[in-house]
Amino acid sequence: MSPHKVLAEAAQQSFPEVDLHIMGVGSQYPEHTVSPQEFREFALRHYPRTPALEKVLAINENTGIDVRSAACSVNHPMLNQPHAPTIDQLSEIFLTEGVKLAVGASRKAIEEWGGDISQITHVVATTCTNSANPGYDYYVARELGLSGSVERTLLHGVGCAGGLAVLRNAANIALGASFLGRPARILVVTCELASLMARSELDSLNQDQDLRIGMTIFSDGSSAVVLSNGIGESPESKPVFDLLAWDHKTLPETDKDIGFDVHPNGWKVILTPRVPALASTSAPPLLNSLLPRIPSLADRAIPLTPQDFDWALHPGGAKVLTSVQKLLGLTPHHLRASYDVYKNHGNSSGATIFSVLNRLRDMGEGREHVVGCAFGPGVAIEMCVLRRHRVPSEVQAAPASGSSSDSE
């Protein structure tokens, strides 16, 4: 057997009882919101009515989103200049408002964990809406008062899959610490300010008359979790979720389907009509590959099906949610937290998934196991399987309201 085949097979071996736990979850949204009507008024304030703009504004009315969270109101001077904000103006806002959001989300996660901030050993963070050096994680760590010896890792280029991508990397770091017999208390942070790109997107639409729908669904927010490898953990600290397994897959020849291209006025969103189908068809094979590698689930007399899990699915758009729901035979109740966050906050890119997880556990009773799933540039799919640490007595039966919108 070739060394390459040995490595490939080893990567697919069963997960051991890794003893990794999410000890706290926190999300923080800005105070401002933007309704579909407010966005329409904002767009028409600066740009003439054209067929392309009229079509985008029609999509804007049918996204299934009531309001989107935004770091700035639609009347903010920076968004109402003669021209779209420059990338340095956007960075200045991110390193003030974005850092505030990330610190707020982090403090909530740390408070729920209950440990001392001096016990944090690592920070693993992500954003696709800022490129500062040092990265925003440096300023978050400084505001939190973390020691200079805390190891920091900042991921870029993972987009909407960012939350689960940083969780995957944090899990691998935690396993390395466990191998060395060392405690790991990893602060996992996500933050995105995507709404600030609206003027740049509208500029492109007005110039090229191309259909650009990202400006109708993206929003701002931050979320965080504390991941522990259990070594030296206080008996008083109770996990929220056990992290059982995780995986990642990049779909071939899909790099042009989801993107966020750098531009002098920020970034330009790329979302092709193929995204809902790519997302929905890629989820079942990855789940089918992951479940047999989790001993506590693989040994069951009756194999689990997708319907046996609650789903924390990244709400990349209404079609993404409904496509995955239909293909996996789920109900709106399985995806209740994803629909709720999407409806009330919009899509905050990589920061959304932990917010969905936070909302799911706040909704009360649910299924014992949860599948986290997100899609990002590549197209990359990230997936993890979690177990509720405190198992409810029964599954909540009443379905939550879902979305049946046909818009992306």
Residues belonging to the active site:
160
Closest listed residue to residue 125, CA positions, set 85, 173, 89: 173
How are beta strands 68-70 and 369-376 bridged, if at all?
unpaired
Query: What is the rounded CA–CA span in Å between residue 287 and residue 292?
Result: 9
Edge to edge, the sheet with strand 151-155 lists 151-155, 122-126, 185-193, 220-228, 20-28, 241-250, 380-388, 369-376, 310-313
- In the chain, the amino acid numbered 247 is D
Query: Who's near 120: CB < 8 A, 6+ residues apart?
Result: 110, 146, 147, 150, 185, 186, 187, 226
What does the block give as tokens for 253?
């020849």
Q: Count of CB atoms within 10 A of residue 73's CB?
A: 14
Query: What is the rounded CA–CA span in Å between residue 272 and residue 290?
Result: 28
What does the block give as tokens for 405?
């919108």
Query: What is the rounded CA–CA span in Å between residue 351 and residue 348?
Result: 6
How are beta strands 241-250 and 380-388 bridged, if at all?
antiparallel
Query: What is the rounded CA–CA span in Å between residue 44 and residue 62?
Result: 18
Query: Who's near 208: CB < 8 A, 6+ residues apart?
Result: none
CB-based burial label for 19 (10 Å; 0-12, 13-18, 19+): middle
